[in-house]
Structure 1
Amino acid sequence: MSDLLTIRVRLAAPVEAVRRALTDPAELRVWFAEHAEVALPDRYEFWGRYTPEGDAPHQRPLHVDAHTLRFAWLLDGVETTSELTLAPDGPDATVLTLTQSHWSFADALAGTTIRGVLQTWWSLSLANLAAHLEGQQLLPRTDFTSADLRGELLIGAPTDKVWTSLTDSEQASAWFGHPIGIEPWVGGRYAMGGFDAGYAAKVVDLEPGRRIAVDWGPTGVTTWELAESGGQTRLTFVQSGFDDANPPYGAWSGTVSGLHELRRFHEVADWQPIWLDVEMPSEAPA
């Protein structure tokens, strides 16, 4: 299918623990959705403020076994299909493959349908699944009922090291898993895809070692602010300056999802990213 999004991630828990986190309603309410009700094979529902079109449950299970969960999900009047499959990666790790139908670059860029947020929303959800399984602080889930986009994360590393990883092109590209070109001064470029990608956001505020703000245009300004906290770093991140009637939920979810790897980059010995690959539809933006 040309519109099939695929995300593969390695989780530090055995298959049984991952499956429980995906199917136990109490666990789902911790890391995934505000509300969840599960009675497989007949019922698999989640809804609430952290779910796209979360006014009510819009899912129905299609197939479930020890390693697969597939469900239909009605979004903007279209029945999409989501599938999560689990494969053991040794005795204490699992490779999870997520496939999601009816996602496209055009939807993500234009914002004409809620389905455009699915790639970054799933990335944030899977990052929080990884954090939940590892007993770590969760990243802030995207609240689709609010235009207040802000959060905090405690990172077990000195502030100067975290600052370098946020502003050095090579380090930022490593933990974010995508090339980023950064000119760390006011007026400098912040280029997702690298300086040759053809478009760059602009650094509009910078206090060395403490704060950097990047203007992305219509999706607003992202600000990262660092503060020392008992030998660790408290990172505060905010998205502002956008149209409150049309919050950039997709862009925000993508930014926040990357912060799980930023934390692991500093805290995990012999760090390797949890993300194995992301395959997007071949459709290119117009």
Structure 2
Amino acid sequence: MSDRIEKRIALRAPVERVWRALTDPVEFGQWFRVKLDDPFVPGQAVRGHITHPGYEHLKWEATVVAMEAPRLFSFTWHPYAVDPQVDYGAETPTLVEFRLTPAPEGTALTIVESGFDAVPAHRREEAMRMNDGGWTQQTGNIRAHVES
């Protein structure tokens, strides 16, 4: 089993537009379906609540690793942390990276989530499967957001 999920998408929007959609907490929340309480600041945690139907009871938390405008935004989080009765804090988080490069049509966006080998074995396969599907959905969400 691979340690990573990778998605690539060509967006008909300038790099600066995609960067704003990724790093502005209000815009990020609109397409990612989360209401954030904090701005994105390297080295700091960002918290909020998921707004995706059926998951509204869940908290969302990530720690920003890098913001290198306008090419790299990354954070760590606990993948598929959906049981509110479980404290995932002892687990090693995965790393999510959004890499932007100019492309003829606008922006090439690559999303990589890596580090699944450190997710506890009893939930690793499900976390990868669910996040793989989630990133497929999120690529469509960001496309609709920046191309509208």
Please classify the TM superposition score into its range, dividing by the shorter chain length.
0.7 to 0.9
Amino acid paired to 1:116:
R
Cα offset for 1:15? 0.6
The CA RMSD measured in Å over matched residues stands at 3.0
- 1:65 alignment partner, one of 63, 68, 91: 68
Establish whether residue 85 from structure 1 lines up as the match of residue 99 from structure 2.
Answer: yes
Query: Residues of 1 paired with 2:40 and 2:25: CA distance?
Result: 9
**Preserved CA contact (<8 Å) 2:26 2:35:** no
**Preserved CA contact (<8 Å) 2:46 2:61:** no
Q: Which structure carries more helix by proportion?
A: 2
After TM superposition, the structure 1 = structure 2 runs for residues 139-158 of structure 1, keeping only pairs within 5 Å, are none
Establish whether residue 56 from structure 1 lines up as the match of residue 80 from structure 2.
Answer: no
Cα offset for 1:115? 4.2
Establish whether residue 131 from structure 1 lines up as the match of residue 144 from structure 2.
Answer: yes
Of structures 1 and 2, the larger Rg is shown by 1
Q: Secondary structure at the match of 1:58?
A: strand
**Preserved CA contact (<8 Å) 2:34 2:60:** no
Query: Residues of 2 paired with 1:111 and 1:4: CA distance?
Result: 11
Change (3 A) 1:45 1:64: farther
Cα offset for 1:28? 1.9
Structure scoring higher RCO (CA < 8 A, sep ≥ 6) equals 2
Q: Secondary structure at the match of 2:39?
A: strand
Where does residue 32 of structure 1 map in the other structure? 32
Cα offset for 1:125? 0.8
Deviations 1:69-125 (A, max 9, x none): 1111023433111111000013x6000011112459xxxxx9974443101101111
Query: Residues of 2 paired with 1:85 and 1:45: CA distance?
Result: 22
Establish whether residue 96 from structure 1 lines up as the match of residue 100 from structure 2.
Answer: no
Where does residue 20 of structure 1 map in the other structure? 20
Query: Residues of 2 paired with 1:26 and 1:80: CA distance?
Result: 23
Change (3 A) 1:111 1:59: closer
Aligned length: 129
Change (3 A) 1:98 1:10: same
Query: Residues of 2 paired with 1:60 and 1:54: CA distance?
Result: 20
Percentage of pairs with the same residue: 29
TM (norm. structure 1) is: 0.40
Change (3 A) 1:121 1:54: farther
Where does residue 47 of structure 1 map in the other structure? 49
**Structure 2: which 5+ runs fail to align?**
82-87, 118-122
Change (3 A) 1:112 1:85: closer
Where does residue 74 of structure 1 map in the other structure? 78
TM (norm. structure 2) is: 0.72
Q: Secondary structure at the match of 1:9?
A: strand
Q: Which runs of 4+ in 1 moved over 6 A?
A: 51-54
